[in-house]
Structure formats: C-alpha cells, structure tokens
Amino acid sequence: MPTPLHTYDYAIVRLVPRVERGEFINAGVIVSCKTAGYLRAKVAFDEARFAALAPKADPHDLRGALLSIPAICEGGEAAGPLRHLSSRERFDWLVAPRSSSLQVSPVHTGRCTDLSLALDKLFDRMVRVAA
C-alpha cells in the first residue's frame, strides 16, 4: 500500500524588532494539515541576529511570545484560552496578519508523506543560518 501524501499549509514566523524598518529574522515555522489533525511549530530565538537588528531592544517579551507558539500548536493547558479552539482555528489565529514585532509570512502549501520531516526540512531551509 503506497504511503499517503498529505497536503499541508505552512507559514514562516518572523521577528520584527523595529516594525517601522520592516527588517525581520526568520525565527520559526508552523505546519498544519487539517486532514491529519496535525499542527506543530518549531522556533528558535537567535540572540546575535536579534541584537544586530535592534542592539538597544530588550528581547525578553519577544522571546516569550515566540516560545509560546509551539505550546499554542499543541493545544494543551499551556495554550491558555486558545486550547479550546480546533487545531485549524489555532493555526488561523497564529497566521493572522499583525503589525507587531512577531509576524508570519503568507501561508504556503506543500505536499509530503511525513509531516514532521516536512517541518524539520522547512525549519532547516528557512530558519537555520548556514555555517
């Protein structure tokens, strides 16, 4: 029996230390597949890149907001009131356009046989900085 292909949606999470400048750092990926009931995120806060864009900014609150994204995806108690939403509703909430220091890219679509592997590959390609 062939492995089923999943169609998924994803968005890149961006840190925008100074919104008025429009500069951002790719800091995570959110992947959602409604038919598989899959919603996961992988994030990383790069202190050095953040400091390069906003040397005088305090990263504390922004780091906390970024690190809350995987918990919201999981939907447990750590997701707060959002835990009552379906996984697709949480995805839609996470990717809603905002004019804040934590934004997401437009939503894109992909297809794969392994959603966790797709998340890892997107994170490696879009967030990790090549050494």
Asked whether the beta carbons of 22 and 16 are under 8 A apart, the reply is yes
For 22-77, what is each residue's pLDDT tens digit? 889 999 999 999 999 999 999 999 999 999 988 988 898 899 999 999 999 999 89
Position 131 confidence tier, pLDDT thresholds 50, 70, 90: low
Asked whether the beta carbons of 119 and 42 are under 8 A apart, the reply is yes
Residue-wise DSSP of 55-66 = TTS--HHHHHHH
pLDDT > 90? residue 98: no
Tell me the C-alpha distance between 72 and 19, whole Å.
24
pLDDT at 129: 80
Asked whether the beta carbons of 104 and 30 are under 8 A apart, the reply is yes
pLDDT at 4: 87
Enclosing H/E stretch for 89: helix 87-95
Instruction: Give CA 126 to chain center in angstroms.
Output: 11
Tell me the C-alpha distance between 105 and 113, whole Å.
24
127-130: long-range pairs with CB below 8 Å, 24+: 127/12, 127/26, 127/27, 127/28, 127/29, 127/42, 127/44, 128/44, 129/46, 129/49
**Residue owning tokens 């994170």:** 123
Share of the chain above pLDDT 90, in %: 76
- Mean pLDDT along residues 102-123: 97
pLDDT > 70? residue 1: no
